[in-house]
């Protein structure tokens, strides 16, 4: 089954009348941003709240995850990603709200429900004395209709390590073994909590291609990460979690409204430049550069080009960019004053 | 896979974890043998009268029965408690819990593993006692010895499950398990052949499996006992602990680290 990233259309977004366009921040979190989708939601979360003492680790979250998509929960450390994931996995109890995962409340988890879910926790912990083959085989035995054990080990690239004890694997290899344990039951839904944290760049690339394979297998994947780069590379949809709330949600292309956010046009200011000559946006100066911030890029660029032709200016160092997803993330995660 | 196959697989994994950890193996299997060497060497030539049993018994014979009890308790209760608590606190059990494994299957595997380890350990201690200290073979009481070891092992393993709920930190598991068992060894008379224990101590000890297990074992090893040597009353208490511990343990068992909620 092929799933294309779902693009947001205007009709999908319930914007209150007169509200400014841009990132949709759902403060009440009773209803998530709606998506045009024929698919059933595999995960439905409404008004989810979890406190540790006085601290709200999750402070009112609503979201839907649909069949076959790769969904990333992105956020800085302490944003509540793991708490949230563990409430979906049935490990933690919520204080308020409702959660449905594969049609079941995870707090009422049954073995039949667990057999449809695979997961990788934030840290890989397994009996150090058992070998890769023994562990994967052990987990396979619990599931009604498991995948082939050798093939699963091959899928995570540990074929050479079948007889190695888990305790003698490197950190990255243990992580891959953990993924094998998550997949051997052939689950419909896979949770990956920070699957690549602590990996070197090569191992990260390998993990990415493995997660991409899961998409190919038609699995629904929910992963957490604190790298936007990772969320962008893997996910069909991203939710940015900051201080227990979803601060933005969208596809890598639209997250935070970045596709329509004001663009920054900058170039090296020619000597004797008169800022009054341009009107397409707000003009400022950064070091040697002039920076035009404009919501109407077409007009601003048109004027700039006309002006440059007239003046014979070659617009040295010209750049036109809208906020990258990383910019959106950093702005939400650590708002500048 | 059916339940019996799953339980025996779990037992196999528990066994591999045990035998592949040399330190663990030494403390589980080696210490009881060492205890027997020490006790029997100190008290080897003495004899003692055991309360409620006919005739006098060599202290070496009593100590062999007692060290079997100590060994089984250390393998089936102490070791199991420590392993389960540590695996729970560092997250090994949490990870395992993601899979659809019934609690009863997982714990059942540990009971079977404890039973097998206890049987081997008991045989080792008995052989050492017979070979080195001339402890008489139980003869017609062999069945009673085997049943006592089996019931004792299952009772201890089952008692470990609810006990793990009392321990809240990985580092506390070993001290707490040792404190509990050492206290019971003293109260039950494991270290004192023929000592007259105060009645209050006996009453406390009677609440727990160790004293019943010890009486069942010493009777089975006492050559003056006529007949098959089954201490049915004491074996009955062990059976109660086995069933009660298993039921309570399965219901109370916690897979996630203390503080995860």
Q: Are residues A235 and A310 in the same domain?
A: no
| Statement: residue B238 has pLDDT above 70 | yes
Q: Are residues A141 and A245 in the same domain?
A: yes
Q: Do A134 and B1 touch (CB under 8 A)?
A: no
Spatial CB neighbours of B72, under 8 Å, sequence gap ≥ 6: B118, B121, B122, B149, B152, B153, B156, B213
**How far B1 CA sits from the closest chain A CA (Å)?**
7
Q: What value does the mean pLDDT take over residues B130-135?
A: 92
Residue B223, in any domain of the structure: yes
Looking at the 3D structure of chain A, how many domains does it have?
Answer: 2
Residues in chain B: 261
| Statement: residue A19 has pLDDT above 60 | no
Q: Do A130 and B98 touch (CB under 8 A)?
A: no
User: What pLDDT is attached to residue A100?
Assistant: 97
A:B CB pairs within 8 Å: 67
- The tokens for A284 are 């400022």
Looking at the 3D structure of chain B, how many domains does it have?
Answer: 1
d(CA A217, CA A166): 26
Q: Are residues A130 and A271 in the same domain?
A: no
User: What pLDDT is attached to residue B74?
Assistant: 93
Q: How confident is the model at residue A152 (pLDDT cuts 50, 70, 90)?
A: very high
User: What pLDDT is attached to residue B89?
Assistant: 96
Q: Are residues A293 and A177 in the same domain?
A: no
Among the partner residues A114, A127, A138, nearest to B9 by beta-carbon distance: A138
User: What pLDDT is attached to residue A29?
Assistant: 52
Chain A residues in contact with B97 (beta carbon < 8 A):
91
Q: Mutate one of A101, A109, A127 to test the B interface: name it (highest B CB count within 10 A).
A: A127
**How far A95 CA sits from the closest chain B CA (Å)?**
11
CA dihedral A171, A174, A175, A181 (to 10 degrees): -170
More confidently predicted of A28 and B226:
B226
Q: Are residues A171 and A275 in the same domain?
A: no
Q: B134, B121, B132: which is closest to B19 by C-alpha?
A: B121
Q: Are residues A137 and A268 in the same domain?
A: no
Residue B245 · residue B161 · CB < 8 Å? yes
User: What pLDDT is attached to residue A30?
Assistant: 54
Q: Do A182 and B98 touch (CB under 8 A)?
A: yes
Pick the residue from chain A with its C-alpha nearest to B84: A127
State the sign of the Cα–Cα–Cα–Cα dihedral B4, B7, B13, B19.
negative
Q: Do B260 and A91 touch (CB under 8 A)?
A: yes
pLDDT in tens, A99-120: 999 999 999 999 999 999 999 9
**DSSP code of residue A251:** -
**How far A289 CA sits from the closest chain B CA (Å)?**
53
Q: Which of residues 76-135 of A touch B (CB under 8 A)?
A: 86, 89, 91-93, 111-112, 114-115, 117-119, 121, 123-127, 129-130, 134
User: What pLDDT is attached to residue B122?
Assistant: 96
Q: Do B98 and A165 touch (CB under 8 A)?
A: no
User: What pLDDT is attached to residue A31?
Assistant: 55
Residue A5, in any domain of the structure: no
Q: Do A143 and B6 touch (CB under 8 A)?
A: no
| Statement: residue B248 has pLDDT above 70 | yes
B131 Cα distance to chain centroid: 23
Residue A223 · residue A71 · CB < 8 Å? yes
Helix (H) or strand (E) holding A63: strand A55-66
Q: Are residues A230 and A292 in the same domain?
A: no
Residue A295, in any domain of the structure: yes
Q: Do A143 and B99 touch (CB under 8 A)?
A: yes
User: What pLDDT is attached to residue A334?
Assistant: 79
Percent of chain A beyond pLDDT 70? 87
Percent of chain B beyond pLDDT 90? 77
Q: Are residues A136 and A234 in the same domain?
A: yes
Residue A57 · residue A51 · CB < 8 Å? yes
d(CA A180, CA A184): 6
Residue B257, in any domain of the structure: no
pLDDT in tens, A265-306: 988 888 777 777 777 678 888 888 888 888 888 888 888 888
| Statement: residue A326 has pLDDT above 80 | yes
User: What pLDDT is attached to residue A32?
Assistant: 53
Among the partner residues B91, B101, B261, nearest to A125 by beta-carbon distance: B91
Q: Which of residues 27-86 of A touch B (CB under 8 A)?
A: 86
Q: How confident is the model at residue A5 (pLDDT cuts 50, 70, 90)?
A: very low
Residue A4, in any domain of the structure: no
Domain residues for B79?
3-252
Q: Mutate one of B19, B84, B90, B98 to test the A interface: name it (highest A CB count within 10 A).
A: B98
User: What pLDDT is attached to residue A40?
Assistant: 77
Q: Are residues A40 and A142 in the same domain?
A: yes
Percent of chain A beyond pLDDT 90? 50
Chain B residues in contact with A193 (beta carbon < 8 A):
none
Q: Are residues A60 and A159 in the same domain?
A: yes
User: What pLDDT is attached to residue A327?
Assistant: 84
User: What pLDDT is attached to residue A3?
Assistant: 43
Q: A281, A298, A291: which is closest to A319 by C-alpha?
A: A291
**How far A336 CA sits from the closest chain B CA (Å)?**
34
Residue B261, in any domain of the structure: no
pLDDT in tens, B145-160: 999 999 999 999 999 9
User: What pLDDT is attached to residue B47?
Assistant: 87
Instruction: Label the pairing between strands A289-294 and A282-286.
Output: antiparallel
Domain residues for A164?
10-257
pLDDT in tens, B52-78: 888 889 999 999 999 999 999 999 999
More confidently predicted of B20 and A22:
B20
d(CA B250, CA B106): 10
Residue B260, in any domain of the structure: no
Residue B259, in any domain of the structure: no
Residue A123, in any domain of the structure: yes
Q: Are residues A271 and A212 in the same domain?
A: no
User: What pLDDT is attached to residue A313?
Assistant: 83
| Top-ranked range on mean pLDDT: pick from A145-149, A215-219, A311-315, B35-39 | A145-149
Q: Are residues A309 and A223 in the same domain?
A: no
More confidently predicted of B41 and B97:
B97
| Statement: residue A25 has pLDDT above 70 | no
Environment class of B81 (CB within 10 Å of its CB; exposed 0-12, middle 13-18, buried 19+):
buried
Q: What value does the mean pLDDT take over residues A210-222?
A: 89
User: What pLDDT is attached to residue A180?
Assistant: 93
User: What pLDDT is attached to residue A216?
Assistant: 87
**Average pLDDT, whole number, for chain A?**
85
Q: What value does the mean pLDDT take over residues A196-222?
A: 86
Residue A337, in any domain of the structure: no
Residue A326, in any domain of the structure: no
Q: What value does the mean pLDDT take over residues A184-205?
A: 89
Pick the residue from chain A with its C-alpha nearest to B3: A142
Q: How confident is the model at residue B210 (pLDDT cuts 50, 70, 90)?
A: very high
Q: Do A121 and B1 touch (CB under 8 A)?
A: no
Q: What is the CATH number of the domain that holds A102?
A: 3.40.50.300
Q: What value does the mean pLDDT take over residues A210-235?
A: 91
- The tokens for A83 are 């708490």
**How far A6 CA sits from the closest chain B CA (Å)?**
30
């Amino acid at each position: 089954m092929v799933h294309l990233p779902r693009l947001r259309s205007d009709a999908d977004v319930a914007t209150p009348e007169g509200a400014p366009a841009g990132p949709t921040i759902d403060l009440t979190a009773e209803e998530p941003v709606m998506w045009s989708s024929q698919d059933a939601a595999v995960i439905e979360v409404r008004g989810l709240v979890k406190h540790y003492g006085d601290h709200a680790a999750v402070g009112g979250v609503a979201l839907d995850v649909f069949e076959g998509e790769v969904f990333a929960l992105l956020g800085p450390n302490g944003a509540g990603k793991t708490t949230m994931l563990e409430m979906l996995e049935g490990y933690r109890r919520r204080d308020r709200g409702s959660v449905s995962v594969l049609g079941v409340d995870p707090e009422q988890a049954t073995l039949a429900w667990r057999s449809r879910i695979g997961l990788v926790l934030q840290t890989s912990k397994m009996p150090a004395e058992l070998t890769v083959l023994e562990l994967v085989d052990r987990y396979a035995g619990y599931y009604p209709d498991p995948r082939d054990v050798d093939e699963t080990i091959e899928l995570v690239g540990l074929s050479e390590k079948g007889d190695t004890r888990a305790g003698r694997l490197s950190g990255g290899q243990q992580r891959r073994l953990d993924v094998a344990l998550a997949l051997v039951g052939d689950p419909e839904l896979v949770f990956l909590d920070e699957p690549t944290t602590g990996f070197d760049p090569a191992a990260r690339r390998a993990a990415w291609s493995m997660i991409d394979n899961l998409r190919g297998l038609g699995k629904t994947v929910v992963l957490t990460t604190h790298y936007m780069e990772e969320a962008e590379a893997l996910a069909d949809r991203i939710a940015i979690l900051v201080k227990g709330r979803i601060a933005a949600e969208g596809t890598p292309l639209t997250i935070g409204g970045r596709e329509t956010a004001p663009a920054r046009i900058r170039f090296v200011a020619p000597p004797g430049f008169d800022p009054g000559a341009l009107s397409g946006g707000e003009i400022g100066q950064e070091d040697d550069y002039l920076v035009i911030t404009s919501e109407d890029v077409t007009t601003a660029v048109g004027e700039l080009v006309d002006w440059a032709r007239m003046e014979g200016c070659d617009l040295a160092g010209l750049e036109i960019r809208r906020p990258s997803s990383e910019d959106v993330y950093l702005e939400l995660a650590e708002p500048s004053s | 896979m059916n339940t019996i196959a799953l339980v025996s697989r779990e037992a196999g994994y528990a066994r591999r974890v045990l035998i592949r950890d040399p330190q663990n193996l030494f403390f589980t299997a080696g210490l009881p043998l060492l205890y027997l060497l020490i006790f029997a060497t100190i008290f080897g030539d003495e004899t003692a009268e055991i309360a409620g049993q006919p005739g006098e018994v060599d202290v070496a014979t009593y100590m062999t029965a007692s060290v079997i009890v100590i060994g089984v308790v250390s393998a089936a209760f102490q070791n199991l408690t420590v392993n389960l608590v540590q695996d729970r606190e560092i997250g090994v059990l949490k990870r395992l819990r993601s899979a659809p494994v019934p609690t009863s299957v997982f714990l059942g595997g540990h009971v079977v593993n404890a039973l097998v380890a206890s049987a081997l350990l008991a045989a080792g201690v008995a052989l050492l006692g017979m070979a080195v200290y001339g402890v008489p073979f139980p003869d017609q009481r062999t069945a009673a010895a085997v049943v006592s070891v089996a019931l004792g092992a299952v009772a201890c393993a089952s008692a470990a499950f609810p006990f793990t709920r009392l321990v809240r930190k990985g580092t506390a598991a070993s001290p707490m398990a040792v404190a509990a068992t050492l206290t019971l060894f003293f109260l039950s008379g494991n270290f004192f052949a023929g000592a007259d224990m105060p009645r209050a101590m006996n009453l406390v000890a009677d609440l727990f499996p160790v004293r019943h297990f010890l009486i069942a074992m010493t009777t089975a090893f006492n050559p003056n006992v006529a007949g098959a040597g089954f201490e049915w009353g004491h074996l009955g208490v062990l059976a109660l602990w086995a069933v009660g511990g298993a039921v309570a343990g399965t219901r109370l068992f916690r897979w996630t680290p203390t503080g995860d909620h």
